[in-house]
Amino acid sequence: MEVVGDVEDLKLEFSVKALVKGMAKTAFNARRLGEALNILEKITIQCNLRVLTLAGAVVPAGLRGILCDVLARDLFDVVVTTGANVTHDLLMAFGGKHYRLKLIDVNEERLKMKGFCRIYDVAVRVQDFEVMEKGLRRILEQMEDRVYSTKEFLREVGLRLEDESSFVHTAALKNCSIIVPAFYDSILGVQVWSMTQTRKLMVLEALDLSYLVDLQFEAKKRGGKTGVLIVGGGAPKNFALQSALIANKPFDYAVQITIDPPYYGGLSGATLGEAVSWDKVFEKAEYCTVYCDFTIALPLLFSALLC
Amino acid sequence: MEVVGDVEDLKLEFSVKALVKGMAKTAFNARRLGEALNILEKITIQCNLRVLTLAGAVVPAGLRGILCDVLARDLFDVVVTTGANVTHDLLMAFGGKHYRLKLIDVNEERLKMKGFCRIYDVAVRVQDFEVMEKGLRRILEQMEDRVYSTKEFLREVGLRLEDESSFVHTAALKNCSIIVPAFYDSILGVQVWSMTQTRKLMVLEALDLSYLVDLQFEAKKRGGKTGVLIVGGGAPKNFALQSALIANKPFDYAVQITIDPPYYGGLSGATLGEAVSWDKVFEKAEYCTVYCDFTIALPLLFSALLC
Amino acid sequence: MEVVGDVEDLKLEFSVKALVKGMAKTAFNARRLGEALNILEKITIQCNLRVLTLAGAVVPAGLRGILCDVLARDLFDVVVTTGANVTHDLLMAFGGKHYRLKLIDVNEERLKMKGFCRIYDVAVRVQDFEVMEKGLRRILEQMEDRVYSTKEFLREVGLRLEDESSFVHTAALKNCSIIVPAFYDSILGVQVWSMTQTRKLMVLEALDLSYLVDLQFEAKKRGGKTGVLIVGGGAPKNFALQSALIANKPFDYAVQITIDPPYYGGLSGATLGEAVSWDKVFEKAEYCTVYCDFTIALPLLFSALLC
Amino acid sequence: MEVVGDVEDLKLEFSVKALVKGMAKTAFNARRLGEALNILEKITIQCNLRVLTLAGAVVPAGLRGILCDVLARDLFDVVVTTGANVTHDLLMAFGGKHYRLKLIDVNEERLKMKGFCRIYDVAVRVQDFEVMEKGLRRILEQMEDRVYSTKEFLREVGLRLEDESSFVHTAALKNCSIIVPAFYDSILGVQVWSMTQTRKLMVLEALDLSYLVDLQFEAKKRGGKTGVLIVGGGAPKNFALQSALIANKPFDYAVQITIDPPYYGGLSGATLGEAVSWDKVFEKAEYCTVYCDFTIALPLLFSALLC
């Protein structure tokens, strides 16, 4: 622990970038956010392998467009995410929507009767899942029977989507890989599973592990740097970090956005310092955790980075 | 919202059961804990299908023995958990240990140099993972090449473990199913993947989905009740709930232990009310969320239930 | 950071004491709770000055009886608390009650129309505050006009209450001092202020500061030890700690129960380590923070201590 | 609970205002932040009485300049805050500083030996408090012996400070009132107390209560609207809300920034809905709670409002 400089009084700013940059010399999570921006700049500019992990309802929360922009601008090589985010992206690609709920007099039964289900203050129509199912079925009919990694499977799907606002579609076009390490743990997985019970089409996450580890090995061989932006915890966080462990190529840069404290011992709250002890993050890495709702932190960071 | 009775002053108690029972008439999370105990009693006595989902470092935190007791006493039919908890159970079954760390002057690099990695205030020796790898290899050599569900795979492993304190072993003996919905997202999964690259042994979570959905269908057909105790969020929580959705048999009883608030929109913090809107929990179900570290709440609930 | 021993598997226990004791060798907040018990034993046995600070709705939550037991058993010399806890104690002493609310379909307006106000899942009748006001008025009429410390004022009030379940009454009988450092920031303070506008009766917290600092000085002079149990943050926590700073007698033992993380920079979440840098807690002190709802942690600790 | 519209995908933006405005149609805390901005605009434009409550280390965190800007632009009539924020403002006005700490290998004892004390990742020099004490003493010598409200006392002090960056000074010039409801619970209070033990200068918060209640009464008489921005909880939050209760003039607009969940029953986490049941917030009020570190939320809101 050492004194590294003065706290510098923050100024009101018109631009997101100037404001977040200024935060780096303040305190608490504003400082962390400012430092995260500085590290993210290095990840996107200096790294040979750039991984984004996404847990949490990023798409239902209205960040699908920002995600597309980020992938269209080539910021990341790999996105590791939940089946849920892919599910909700497909739901929208096939015409579905997300609705804003007012959280007064919450009555789940009434909501269900009206055909909605709820993600905190967002509602989805059950029938939109049915429309999505039909769309997905049409795509699956075009795909050959074989064993796919989730990455290969989602590329095949992404290329067939006709929605420029879909991040799965954008990723497919930009050759960014999407990995879903708990594939069958989502409505997407369930639909694929039920549509392929009489077929030999199979999705196996072990293949994604090979793929991601290979990317880390390559980066290592070339003496390159690797960086990761971790949003939330869950399987996406662990999957990205364990690949670094296996390849013996700990990340050189890491930013984590979470709201979970470390002292409950869970993965989402585990510090990047802990990850150093596991050789998942390099001991000389630049890393930083921001304790903030991702719906606030991500738009700030990406606006500062890209606008 | 209605007034349901007086807050009754809690009394100091010698017995865990009396204390937790008394809490049900107080407020905040003490009330929730007391109510959770009442619901858990109904789950274990009245339900035909009883599911326990475990995210979080239950085994490293020293709750392995309690988990064994709970399974030996036949409290649950299915445990859905992370690969990590199985990994750490096997690590101990092959002679490994977990160590208590003093969190003063945390230095990750020094810790790593000494051969330890860290889970908050718990340390594990890296070489214990190597010993576990050898043990697992011996077991895998005895297993035939085929496609396994995680449940089948872990039963085969569990039966071959020679450690009565292992929950995987105990579950195998008691015919309790262990499901790991993100199998390859763990050291266990990585080891199995690396050992079986030249074999036809494969682990596929889609089979567990079929299995769990079938159990729900059966309970439904028989007009039985189903109950779930959810510890933390992650894939385990979602996997158990989505099976109820698919089988169209929402849980009749549900208890959730978490420390995540609902307003960040994440799965771990999603209320059981939300689950009602998804038809994962029955609208007339008895359910309750306790906001408390599971290392405190679980020993209290299970001691009150079993002692 | 060093390895201090093995994680020892916790056992199911009938007795609260055995369970909490066992937790000290586990992990995360269970370990912290177990360590807190060990430190609390030392505070109550070895310390010459024992301070309890209480923020949070301890009385409305149903812990009034436990608080009385603790004071009746002479565990603390000084209680520093919010005006709210004293208010709700008096409300009950004059016949008022707290009610349990079911948090479904929360409608604040309807609740208000029915004459209730709400503290999360607890309701209070507005008219009970009016009854309390009359009772307090009768007591004030018996008190002479002068400047009181909050401690003196509350002793005068406590001695005149006719309710053995009142902690203000019990404290007065046992010669335990109750200090309210933000006296006018509560319904009690407002009532006293409105009843005494035409009188020379005045309550001044600065006198409590002198009093508490003097106690610390005495403990220092005698070479004695001091200990503090901090529940929540707010003015009570700060007031107790600043008195140690002024007296240049940092606490030798300290236990803190909070749910606030340190990284938001607030007082409630400030670690006891921080307090060491301020000379409020001794650098060789035994101290421990438990991240847990006090409605769960306090009954466990006091039951383990006293039953 | 009703569906109020679509979730609208957020766009990357150059300007803070556009970004925060866009968030109002998204989800989770981004939506809350966007709604907070909309309500804040109404508070600052439409309200006759505008109150800002500040708990938390606003000044040490580097937000002193923004606070000055906000007061210089006449956004609030009253600031209710902790003694700590005033203390740190004075410390800087007399030449003191705050320093940024790197939180690696935290060692409190070493830090203390070097003459620093710590507020999470911010350090203060102990000797700066001594310099502040001398400065305050000079000011106190110029002040007459009498009973002051905290508001009057701080105006006297503020007018005598020679630092345009001081928010206490700026408030004094702009005729904005600063109230500290737990005055003696701070280093400032302790210094005033120790300097005035032989004088008849006294600070009494009860006078502030009269003052604030009178302001509410006036607003009520004139049929005006009142609004409050609540940052953190503690005595500042309660003091502002209780004045509305006494004056029987519940706030018409309220925004709250906190990171505390409601289910622990504490004041900081108490919802504004609860405040409706207490008649502290009007049942038809527009109100909104944002769960976010204030170091991030405040600069965003004020930049969007003023740039």
What is the domain-level CATH number for residue D277?
A: 3.40.910.10
Q: Are the C-beta atoms of A202 and A24 separated by less than 8 Å?
A: no
Instruction: Report the chain A residue with the minimal C-alpha distance to residue D290.
Output: A293
Instruction: Report the chain B residue with the minimal C-alpha distance to residue D270.
Output: B28
Q: Are the C-beta atoms of A54 and A235 separated by less than 8 Å?
A: no
DSSP one-letter string for chain A: -EEEEE-------SBHHHHHHHHTTS-HHHHHHHHHHHHHHHHHHH-SEEEEEE-S-TIIIIIHHHHHHHHHTT--SEEEE-HHHHHHHHHHHTT---EEEE-SS--HHHHHHTTEEEETTEEEEHHHHHHHHHHHHHHHHHSPSSEE-HHHHHHHHHHH---TT-HHHHHHHHT-EEE-TTTTSSHHHHHHHHHTTTSS-EE-HHHHHHHHHHHHHHHHHTT--EEEEEES-HHHHHHHHHHHHHTT--EEEEEEEE---GGG--TTT--HHHHHHTTSEEEEEEEEEEES-HHHHHHHHHHHHH-
Q: Please check whether residue B103 lies inside any domain of the structure.
A: no
CB contact under 8 A, A57 and B265: yes
Q: Are the C-beta atoms of A187 and A84 separated by less than 8 Å?
A: yes
- Cα–Cα distance for residue pair B196/A170, rounded to 1 Å: 34
Q: Please check whether residue B87 lies inside any domain of the structure.
A: yes
CB contact under 8 A, C106 and A106: yes
| The pLDDT value given to residue B197 | 87
| The pLDDT value given to residue A104 | 82
Is A280 a catalytic site residue?
Answer: yes
| Structure tokens, A239 | 């999957």
User: Which among C105, C261, C265 has the least Cβ separation from residue A261?
Assistant: C261
Q: Which of B219, B235, B280 is nearest to B254 (CA)?
A: B280
- Cα–Cα distance for residue pair C10/C26, rounded to 1 Å: 7
Q: Please check whether residue B2 lies inside any domain of the structure.
A: no
pLDDT at C1 over 90: no
Q: Residue D177: exposed, middle, or buried by beta-carbon count in 10 A (0-12, 13-18, 19+)? A: buried
Strands (E), chain C: 2-6, 49-54, 78-81, 99-102, 116-119, 122-125, 147-148, 177-179, 202-203, 226-231, 251-258, 281-291
Q: Are the C-beta atoms of A43 and A229 separated by less than 8 Å?
A: yes
CB contact under 8 A, D291 and B263: yes
| Structure tokens, D119 | 């507020």
The set of catalytic residues of D is 280
Number of separate domains in chain A: 1
Domain around C207: 47-293
Q: Please check whether residue C175 lies inside any domain of the structure.
A: yes
DSSP designation for C144 = P
CB contact under 8 A, D19 and A19: no
| The pLDDT value given to residue C107 | 87
Helix axes D16-23, A16-23, angle to 10 degrees: 90
CB contact under 8 A, A296 and D295: no
As a whole number of Å, the CA-based R_g of chain B is: 20
| The pLDDT value given to residue B1 | 61
Work out whether the CA dihedral B165, B168, B169, B175 comes out positive or negative. positive
In chain C, which residues have their Cβ closer than 8 Å to the Cβ of B303?
12-14, 19
3-state secondary structure of C90: helix
Q: Please check whether residue C268 lies inside any domain of the structure.
A: yes
pTM for the complete prediction?
0.98
User: Which among C118, C265, C273 has the least Cβ separation from residue D277?
Assistant: C118
CB contact under 8 A, D259 and C260: yes
Q: Please check whether residue C176 lies inside any domain of the structure.
A: yes
In chain D, which residues have their Cβ closer than 8 Å to the Cβ of B28?
263-265
Mean predicted lDDT score pLDDT of chain D? 96
| The pLDDT value given to residue C90 | 98
Distance to chain B for D75, nearest Cα, Å: 29
CB contact under 8 A, B13 and C307: yes
Q: Residue B150: exposed, middle, or buried by beta-carbon count in 10 A (0-12, 13-18, 19+)? A: buried
3-state secondary structure of D56: coil
Contacts for C48 with CB less than 8 Å, ≥ 6 apart: C219, C222, C224, C225, C226
Q: Please check whether residue C35 lies inside any domain of the structure.
A: no
Q: Residue D200: exposed, middle, or buried by beta-carbon count in 10 A (0-12, 13-18, 19+)? A: exposed
CB contact under 8 A, C28 and B61: yes
Task: Look up residue A211 and give its amino acid.
Answer: Y
pLDDT at B105 over 80: no
Q: Which of D294, A280, B290, A31 is nearest to A270 (CA)?
A: A280
Task: Look up residue C211 and give its amino acid.
Answer: Y
The mean pLDDT value for B267-274 works out to 95
* Chain D interface test: which of C85, C191, C264, C295 (most D C-beta within 10 Å): C264
Q: Please check whether residue D154 lies inside any domain of the structure.
A: yes
DSSP designation for C107 = -
Instruction: Report the chain C residue with the minimal C-alpha distance to residue A290.
Output: C263
pLDDT at D1 over 70: no
Task: Read off φ and ψ for residue C177, nearest 5 degrees.
Answer: -90, 135
In chain C, which residues have their Cβ closer than 8 Å to the Cβ of A264?
28-29, 291
Q: Which residue in the list C134, C249, C280, C284 is annotated as catalytic?
A: C280
| Structure tokens, D240 | 């502002």
Q: How confident is the model at residue B106 (pLDDT cuts 50, 70, 90)?
A: confident
| Structure tokens, C127 | 């008219």
pLDDT at C105 over 80: no
- % of chain B with per-residue pLDDT over 90: 97
Cα distances (Å, whole numbers) of residue C222 to A146, C176, C215, C219, C283: 82, 20, 11, 5, 20
Partners of A253 in the beta sheet? A227, A286
* Chain A interface test: which of D8, D9, D287 (most A C-beta within 10 Å): D9
Question: Within its chain, how far is the Cα of C146 from the centroid?
Answer: 27
Q: What residues of chain A score a pLDDT lower than 50? A: none
Partners of D286 in the beta sheet? D253
- Cα–Cα distance for residue pair C118/D248, rounded to 1 Å: 17
Q: Residue C18: exposed, middle, or buried by beta-carbon count in 10 A (0-12, 13-18, 19+)? A: middle
| The pLDDT value given to residue C167 | 98
CA atoms within 13 A on the CB side of D186: 25
User: Which among B30, B98, B296 has the least Cβ separation from residue C33?
Assistant: B296
- Cα–Cα distance for residue pair B171/D85, rounded to 1 Å: 57
Partners of B178 in the beta sheet? B79
Residue with tokens 């001092």: C177
In chain D, which residues have their Cβ closer than 8 Å to the Cβ of C111?
277
